[in-house]
Amino acid sequence: MCVLSYIIFGLSELFVKKIGNNVISVIGKIMGLIIAIIGTSMIIEGIKISFDLVK
């Protein structure tokens, strides 16, 4: 696993040159949105369980 991570990080500069900084920025924003959606879902589920709203 460490070797795979090392190779990926080593080739990251090549990927950025190929696809561009704008695409990297868009991918980062989409990933942030996905994480926010997952977090919101977890908070809502926690509130439902806390107040015994699950039926």
**Residue 24 in domain:** yes
Q: Which residue has the higher pLDDT, 28 or 52?
A: 28
**Residue 55 in domain:** no
CA distance 24 to 19: 8
pLDDT at 51 over 90: no
**Residue 19 in domain:** yes
17, two tokens:
């040159």
**Residue 9 in domain:** yes
pLDDT at 54 over 70: no
* Spacing of C-alpha 37 from chain mean position: 10
**Residue 12 in domain:** yes
pLDDT of the residue at 52: 82
pLDDT at 55 over 70: no
Q: Report the number of distinct structural domains present in the chain.
A: 1
Range of the domain at 35: 2-50
**Residue 37 in domain:** yes
